[in-house]
Structures are given as structure tokens and as C-alpha cells.
């Protein structure tokens, strides 16, 4: 599983290297060209080295079908949990964009903890504590104006 992911990443970096080379050549002055070209070429070459290593490693590993199936099942569970975490994190970013730092932490922390079936009291206390921490630490103590959110007049 790990080898497969590593291989896909190396292929992604290889494509990035190719993109970098094509883009670099088009820049106007040598000062702007030579380092991007040098680094992109390096990425391209090192990606090929990594891909070769991964393919050789895959050929040498003799995983039984049961082991592969178990690893894939574990990975499916992990991926689901990971996707949930990412969705919740993106949700928090959207909440901040809409509601700003005064209300988004309050609502998001409470909603997440309730979704995770934590108790009402603990969820409320932690939500209020986090929102209070952001307000007092950044706005009161450090004097920084935090983002208010587009619902509250922020452009």
C-alpha cells in the first residue's frame, strides 16, 4: 500500500518536474531561467530514480493475498476517517470565511464535538473556551484585529 502511494507521488513529482522545465525555458532572462530549470531538471531526474527504486522494491516484496486484503481493509477505514477530518477542517475554513473568528470557533468546535458524541457540557465548555481564547489572546492581549467574516461586514 505504502509502495503504491510512494510510486504515485513520485509520478506526480515527475510531472511537476516536466511542467517546471517547460515553464522555465519560456522565461525571458537567464537570471530568471537557470535556477528553475536546474531545480526542475533535478526533480525530474530524482523522480525517475525514486520510481525505479519503488518498482524494484515492489517486485521484491512478496505479500500474500490475505496480507494485501487486510492492508486494503485497514486503509479503507483510515481513508474514511481521514476524509471526515479533511471535510470538517474545510468546513471550519468556510465557517471562518462566513462568520469570522468570533463565531466560527464557537459553532465549529461545538458541532464537531457533538457529532463525535461528546457530552453537552464538555462540548459547550470547550467551544466557549476556544472562542474566548481567540478573542482574548489575539484581539484583547495582542491587539490584532481578527477577520470578522463576510456576514458581519468584512470585505
Q: How far apart are CA 114 and CA 123, in angstroms?
A: 7
Q: List the interface residues with another protein, window 81-140 (CB under 8 A).
A: 81-82, 84-86, 89-90, 92-93, 96-97, 101, 105, 108-109, 112-113, 116, 118, 126, 130, 133-134, 138
CA distance linking residue 2 with residue 59, whole number of Å: 14
Task: Specify the residue for cell string 470538517.
Answer: 88
Q: Binding pattern to another protein, positions 18-47, x when CB under 8 A? A: --x--xx--xxx-xx--xx--xx-xx--xx
Q: DSSP of 76-127, one letter per residue? A: HHHHHHHHHHHHHHHHHHHHHHHHHHHHHHHHHHHHHHHHTT--HHHHHHHH
Q: Which residues make up the interface to another protein (CB under 8 A)?
A: 2, 5-6, 9-10, 13, 16, 20, 23-24, 27-29, 31-32, 35-36, 39-40, 42-43, 46-47, 49-50, 53, 77-79, 81-82, 84-86, 89-90, 92-93, 96-97, 101, 105, 108-109, 112-113, 116, 118, 126, 130, 133-134, 138, 142-144, 146-147
Amino acid at each position: 500500500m505504502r509502495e503504491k502511494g510512494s510510486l504515485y507521488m513520485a509520478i506526480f513529482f515527475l510531472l511537476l518536474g516536466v511542467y517546471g522545465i517547460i515553464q522555465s525555458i519560456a522565461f525571458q532572462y537567464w537570471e530568471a531561467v537557470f535556477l528553475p530549470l536546474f531545480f526542475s531538471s533535478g526533480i525530474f531526474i530524482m523522480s525517475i530514480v525514486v520510481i525505479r527504486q519503488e518498482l524494484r522494491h515492489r517486485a521484491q516484496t512478496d505479500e500474500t493475498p490475505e496480507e494485501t486484503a487486510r492492508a486494503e481493509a485497514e486503509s479503507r477505514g483510515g481513508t474514511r476517517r481521514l476524509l471526515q477530518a479533511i471535510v470538517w477542517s474545510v468546513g471550519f475554513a468556510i465557517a471562518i470565511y462566513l462568520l469570522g473568528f468570533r463565531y466560527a470557533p464557537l459553532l465549529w468546535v461545538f458541532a464537531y464535538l457533538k457529532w463525535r458524541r461528546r457530552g453537552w457540557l464538555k462540548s459547550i465548555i470547550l467551544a466557549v473556551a476556544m472562542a474566548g481564547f481567540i478573542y482574548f489572546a489575539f484581539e484583547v492581549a495582542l491587539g490584532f484585529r481578527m477577520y470578522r467574516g463576510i456576514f458581519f461586514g468584512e470585505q
